[in-house]
Amino acid sequence: MGMGLLGMVKGLCAMPISLWQCRRILRTRHARLVIGVGGYTSPMMVVAAAISGIARVILEPNANPGMANKAVGPFVQRAFLAFDSAAASFDRAKVRVVGTPIRREFLARARQEPMPSSEPGREHVLIFGGSQGAKAINSAAIEGLPELMKQRPRMTVTHQTGEADYARVTEAYRRAGVSVIATPFLYDMPSAINAADLVVARAGAMTVAELTTCGKPAVLIPLPTAIYDHQMKNARVLEAAGAAIVLPQADLTGARLTNAITAVLDDPARVKAMGAATVTLRRTDAAESIVRECYALLGDQHDVNQPLGATGS
C-alpha cells in the first residue's frame, strides 16, 4: 500500500516466490497452525497453510480490519476480533469476538480491587504517543500544560516523550517553570496507566486494550497517517461507549488539549462514569479464548479448568 504502480507490480511478481518460501518454512518447521496478524507478510503464509492443509486463523485487533486480513478471510477457519464492528468483513460463522491479547502485568492489575488513582485532591495525567512518542502531542502538551498546571497546582503529569523529542520537551517544561515527570520511554506501562486519573494517548489497538483493561478514561488523539484510518475508528468505539474524548490531530492545539483535560477532571462524576464505561469494553480472557479455539481446531484435548499459560492465573 502507498508504493505506487511500480511497487504494486513488484509485489505481485514476488507473490509466487513468497508462496514457495512460505510452504518451505511450513514444511521445515512441521507447522500445525498458522496465526495471521495482518501486514504484508501475512497473506502468503496463510494461503500457504491453506494449500498445505494446515490449520490457520487470523487475529484482527482493530475496529476496521486491514486489507491483509480481509484478503485472507476466506482461507481461514477462525477470525479472532477485538471489536464486533469488524465482524461484517468476515464470514460470521468463523468470527469470534474475543478482545486483544494483552500482557500478564495488565491482567494482574485488572484482577485487583479498584483503587483510587492518586491521593485525595490530587489529579494525575499520563501522556504518551506510542513507544516513539508523538511530536504533535508533545508540542500541544508543552504549549498548554504549563498554564493549566499553574491553575491546578495539585495536578501532576507523567509525559512519555519518545527519545527523539525528549530534550526539546524537557527544556520547554524547564523554561515554563513547571515540574513534569518527563521520560523518553515508560518501561512499566501497567503501573503508569494504573496510576493515572486520565490518559492522553494515541488509539492503536494495544493502547485501547490497555486502557480498557485498566478502566481508565482517556483523551484520544488518533494517528492521522494510520492506514485505513484505523486508529480513528478504534477511538470512535470508545467515544461511543462514553469512555473517551476524541481529539483529531488536525484540531490539536495546546488550548484544545487542556480544554479536553479540564472538561474531564473538573467533573469527578464524569471521571468515574468514563472509567466505568471503559471497563464495559474490557476482555481479560482474550489469549485463553484464542488458545482454546486453536486447540479445538487441532483436535487436541485440553482441560478447560486449567490455565494455558497464555495469561497466567
Contact 286, 100 (CB under 8 A): yes
CB 124 within 8 A of CB 237: no
Average pLDDT value over all residues in the chain: 90
The answer, yes or no, to whether residue 307 has pLDDT greater than 60, is no
Q: Between these two residues, 302 and 58, which has the higher pLDDT value? A: 58
Closest to 72 (Cα-Cα) out of 142, 15, 17 = 15
Mean pLDDT of 203-227: 94
pLDDT at 308 exceeding the cut of 60: no
What confidence tens digit (pLDDT) does each residue in 189-205 have? 999 999 999 999 999 99
Quick one: cell of 215? 478502566
Q: Sorting pLDDT into bands at 50, 70 and 90, what band is 92? A: very high
Whether residue 254 has pLDDT greater than 70: yes
Q: Which of 27, 98, 20, 88 is nearest to 57 (CA)?
A: 98
In the three-class reduction of DSSP (H, G, I as helix; E, B as strand; rest coil), residue 34 is classed as: strand
Summarize pLDDT for 112-122 with one digit per residue, the tens. 655 555 566 78
Q: Kindly provide the residue ranges of all beta strands, DSSP E only, lying in the chain, ordered along the sequence.
A: 33-36, 55-60, 78-81, 95-97, 123-128, 155-160, 181-183, 198-201, 218-220, 244-246
pLDDT for position 310: 44
pLDDT tens digits for range 1-57: 667 888 878 888 888 999 999 999 999 999 999 999 998 889 999 999 999 999 999
- For residues 59-70, average pLDDT: 94
Q: What are 120-175's pLDDT values in tens digits?
A: 678 999 999 976 668 999 999 999 999 999 999 999 999 999 999 999 999 999 99
Radius of gyration for the chain, computed over Cα atoms and rounded to the nearest angstrom:
22
DSSP 249: G
Mean pLDDT of 59-78: 95
Confidence (pLDDT) at 312:
42
Average pLDDT over residues 71-96: 96
pTM above 0.85, yes or no: yes
Provide mean pLDDT across the span 267-291: 94
Q: Reply yes or no on whether the pLDDT at 180 is more than 60.
A: yes
Segment 249-268 mean pLDDT = 97
Taking residues 197-219, report their average pLDDT.
96
- The predicted pLDDT at position 309 comes to 47
